[in-house]
């Protein structure tokens, strides 16, 4: 996740300036007031008014680290990356101003696809030798490598619109559980109604920092286990919250559209930036109140996930969850994470629709969801057949869980029906699914 969010809204500390005496304290207080006024201008979409305040403040206190980090953070969280480059870049000195402003500036250069300038700032940040930033910096290094690999020209920071004949990354959202598509005639029996004030929440595809030497090549191949988890975990969480009374969730995935007409499932080499979040929020009807993002890593047999929840109104991080697992501990650790997320967000079950129950084996359920997603994307011509993973493991996982849970039984039925429709090679499984009128009705549709 971008540091625009993490550092925006952080007010300068007048106490530190007060150590220099009354004059310094007064200057610090004046800076705080000016920054707050500029933030109000940005929130009111009065960019010229905010820039006028910033210009005046920078003329007086343009060398102060707290001023630069707040300006860059506030501009970034409001999508004004060009102004970060114009106002902050000429004044930034890594040794004097520290890493926070540099990280905001680095993201601004990435947003305008200026790989050379981004690499320069990254080199300055690495030179600070800050161990706590190492993972984030390596993630940004991968993002820069992707830009270089794709041979993007830097965009003019003030340019409007996309340049033709370039790959474009779009976001697709799933407003229902991925296994529901195909069961629309049974919507009243499966989906709880959403009435009154509900909170809108999105679960974004996970980033995979450092996962591949060549991200472009990886996007053309069938997803490996890490890539499947990066998409299936958000879908699992989104599905869980659909069966909660207080939430209207969505899962968000990235797709790269190539000039030659090909579509590749996107792999994010760095955590979602403010621009990614803003794109998601602005393109969703009604926007979102919360967005979950995160990064997934796999090293020496261990998986490590950092999951963040962001409050959209203020673009600030509310909570971070961290979990590690091995194949042997995956079910226990993922089940605990699922419970922690639901507890933190005050998840309560819906009164109507399918009675939701967490899967007995999260790893098997994630395998089932992965197959459901890939077959859906293939049906919609967003994933070529040669990019698909084998469906047999997903069908087997859904069949096994389908003996216990209605949701898994429904997932098996829709996955098998779609595989048959698309003419994909699948084992003609006829498992014993949980016996219920709903599952029997779903079987009739397939």
115-126 and 99-111 helices, crossing angle to 10°: 160
How is residue 380 written in tokens? 């919609």
Structure-model confidence comparison of residues 216 and 41, the more confident one: 41
pLDDT tens by residue, 335-360: 999 999 999 999 999 988 888 889 99
Determine the Cα angle at 164 with ends 161 and 170, to 5°.
65
Q: Let me know: does 330 contact 324? Beta carbons within 8 Å.
A: no
Q: Is pLDDT at 156 greater than 70 in this prediction?
A: no
Q: Are 421 and 382 in contact (CB under 8 A)?
A: no
List, for residues 234-249, the tens digit of each pLDDT value: 999 999 999 998 999 9
Nearest of 399, 386, 390, 385 to residue 426 by alpha carbon = 390
Helix, coil or strand: residue 249: strand
pLDDT digits (tens, 9 = 90+) for 94-132: 888 989 999 988 888 888 778 778 888 888 888 888 888
**318: confidence class by pLDDT, cuts 50, 70, 90:** confident
- C-alpha 337/C-alpha 305 separation (Å) is 10
Which pLDDT score, from 0 to 100, does residue 15 have? 35
Q: How many residues does the chain have?
A: 446
The segment with the largest mean pLDDT, out of 74-78, 135-139, 369-373, 436-440, is: 369-373
Q: For residues 342 and 236, is the Cβ–Cβ distance under 8 A?
A: no
Interatomic CA distance for residues 237 and 1, integer angstroms? 19
What's the pLDDT at 352? 87
Instruction: Report residue 180: phi and psi, to 5°.
Output: -75, -30
Chain mean pLDDT for the chain: 83
As to burial, measured by CB atoms within 10 angstroms (0-12 exposed, 13-18 middle, 19+ buried), residue 345 is buried
The pLDDT, as a whole number, for residue 152 is: 39
Helix (H, G, I), strand (E, B) or coil at 120: helix
pLDDT by residue (tens digit) across 9-23? 344 443 333 344 444
C-alpha dist (Å) from residue 134 to 65, 76, 146, 210? 21, 22, 19, 12
Q: Which of the following CATH numbers is that of domain 3-149: 1.25.40, 1.25.10, 1.10.287, 3.40.50?
A: 1.25.40
d(CA 44, CA 36): 12
Q: Residue 296 has which token pair?
A: 């997934």
CATH 1.25.40 domain position(s) in the chain: 3-149
With 0-12 / 13-18 / 19 or more C-beta atoms within 10 angstroms meaning exposed / middle / buried, residue 67 is buried
**Minimal CA–CA distance to 70: which of 13, 29, 20, 124?**
13
| φ and ψ at residue 233, rounded to 5 degrees | -60, -50
């Amino acid at each position: 996740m971008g540091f625009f969010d993490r550092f925006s809204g952080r007010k300068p500390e007048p106490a530190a300036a007060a150590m220099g005496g009354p004059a310094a304290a007064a200057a610090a207080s004046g800076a705080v007031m000016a920054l707050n006024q500029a933030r109000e201008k940005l929130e009111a979409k009065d960019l010229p008014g905010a820039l006028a305040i910033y210009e005046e403040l920078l003329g007086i206190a343009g060398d102060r680290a707290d001023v630069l980090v707040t300006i860059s953070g506030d501009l970034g969280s409001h999508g004004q990356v060009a102004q970060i480059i114009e106002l902050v870049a000429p004044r930034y000195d890594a040794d004097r101003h520290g890493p926070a402003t540099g990280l905001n500036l680095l993201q601004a250069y990435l947003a305008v696809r200026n790989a050379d300038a981004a690499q320069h700032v990254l080199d300055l940040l690495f030179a600070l030798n800050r161990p706590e930033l190492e993972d984030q910096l390596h993630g940004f290094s991968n993002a820069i490598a992707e830009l270089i690999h794709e041979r993007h020209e830097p965009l003019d920071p003030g340019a409007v619109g996309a340049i033709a004949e370039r790959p474009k990354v779009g976001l697709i959202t799933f407003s229902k559980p991925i296994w529901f598509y195909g069961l629309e005639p049974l919507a009243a029996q499966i989906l709880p109604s959403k009435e009154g004030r509900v909170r809108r929440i999105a679960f974004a595809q996970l980033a995979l920092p450092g996962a591949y030497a060549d991200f472009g090549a990886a996007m053309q191949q069938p997803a490996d286990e890490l890539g499947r988890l990066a998409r299936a975990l958000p879908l699992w969480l989104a599905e869980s919250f659909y069966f909660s009374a207080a939430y209207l969730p969505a899962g968000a995935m990235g797709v790269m559209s190539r000039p030659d007409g090909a579509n590749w499932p996107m792999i994010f080499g760095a955590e979602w930036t403010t621009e990614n979040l803003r794109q998601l929020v602005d393109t969703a009807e009604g926007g979102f109140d919360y967005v979950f993002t995160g990064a997934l890593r796999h090293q020496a047999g261990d998986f490590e996930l950092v999951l963040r929840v962001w409050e959209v109104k203020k673009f600030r991080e509310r909570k971070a969850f961290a979990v590690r697992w091995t194949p042997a501990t995956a079910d226990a650790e993922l089940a605990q994470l699922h419970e922690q997320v639901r507890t933190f967000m005050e998840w309560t079950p819906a009164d109507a629709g399918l009675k939701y129950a967490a899967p007995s084996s999260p790893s098997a359920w994630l395998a089932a969801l992965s197959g459901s997603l890939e077959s859906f994307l293939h049906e919609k011509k967003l994933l070529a057949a040669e990019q698909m993973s084998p469906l047999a493991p997903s069908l087997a996982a859904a069949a096994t869980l389908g003996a216990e849970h209605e949701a898994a039984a429904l997932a098996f039925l829709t996955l098998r029906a779609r595989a048959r429709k698309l003419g994909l090679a699948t084992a003609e499984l006829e498992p014993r699914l949980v016996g219920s009128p709903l599952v029997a009705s779903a079987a009739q549709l397939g």
